[in-house]
Structure 1
Amino acid sequence: MRMLLQGARLLGGPHGTVLELCILTMCLPWEAVAIDLAEIDWKRGWAMVPARGGSRRLLHLPPDAVRSLARVAGAVTSRGQAVSGGSGRPLDRRDVRLDRMQARLAAAAPDMTVLQPWNFHGLRAGAARELLERGCSRQDVACALGLKPPGSAIVPIGGIRTLADDADRAAVTVSKWNAILADRRNAR
């Protein structure tokens, strides 16, 4: 994942930003393209994104993700799609399909072609597995992934399904994930 993160940064632009956000925040690409600059709480490092079932959730943006989005946007007062900096044609979720992302990544960073095949759900599963192996609870990992806790009430369409406690747990867990990504000494 460190190699993919490096490749995403080499790729740059909206596509590289999507891949970088997916790795840093453990979100899915359709969540990353849905981030609106006006919906980001820059101080707390949160963005409101769509969730399954028509609800919405808070996505924790660790410092590296906030820096990346601020760099792309040029100013935190910008408006529009975050990954495109609010300018140009916004990326659609179809624009970040796996086959297209891998082709772009291979062109921008030829060293990435030696990687094992990957997909966005696999990135999330790999991050979750690593966090669990390092002692995070399943509930904390589920909060970070934006999954609805088992047995919780159904959230109405358009409702926000992230409770404050869940958002805080997600922030801690995503921060742990980013510390793992940054710690090259304990790389597997």
Structure 2
Amino acid sequence: MKIEEIKTKLPKKEEKIEIFYQNCEKRKKFISGDKENHKFHLKKSRHDLFRAIKEFEDKCWDWTVIKAYYALHHAANGLLLKKQGFFCKDHSCLIIALKFYKLINEEQFKELSKLHESFSDIFGFDLTFQLRKIGQYDVYEWENVKNSGLKSGACSEFLNTSKIIFNFSQSQVWSLRKNNFLSIKEEDAKLIIEVAKKFLSYVENASNN
């Protein structure tokens, strides 16, 4: 996968971005919070990135992508909370909010948008939405999540987790893996880790200013 070849559905023009942001507001996608709590998001981001790197070393590309994607999400929320005093659980609205408030530049906006679009397509369903519903984004209790059935490990663990979360049958799980997870290659996993590293570094620097 080459990121420059990915097409994104998120708006590109300023006026469309504003409309999208306003719709996110109307749908109550933004949650007020203490700006100091951005540190929790950054801590979670670092942890997820660490786990992503470990999964990459184990050649488990699906878990690499998932953990690195969460690292990006928590870094982005850390930045939004620090600068604007609220965070967002919706990935599309989060990216749009960062662009709307000019917290990221055009290149970063395109990169985050394309990654979101790409990996939503790869999994074939909104994995991030499903995980959110069982508390994956509660950074104040993420130690509990880490010790639950969602913790990372072997690639097969993801299949077992999928059965629990989505109530999939064994045949459905294996079909899902065949049709979607196998399309995740080493280059995909490597790409998202590189993006996550770069973005987390940017957010940490921006949060100190």
Q: TM-score range by the shorter chain?
A: 0.3 to 0.5
Q: Which has the higher contact order (CA 8 A, sep 6+)?
A: 2
Q: Name the TM-score, length of structure 1 as normaliser.
A: 0.34
TM-score, normalization: structure 2? 0.32
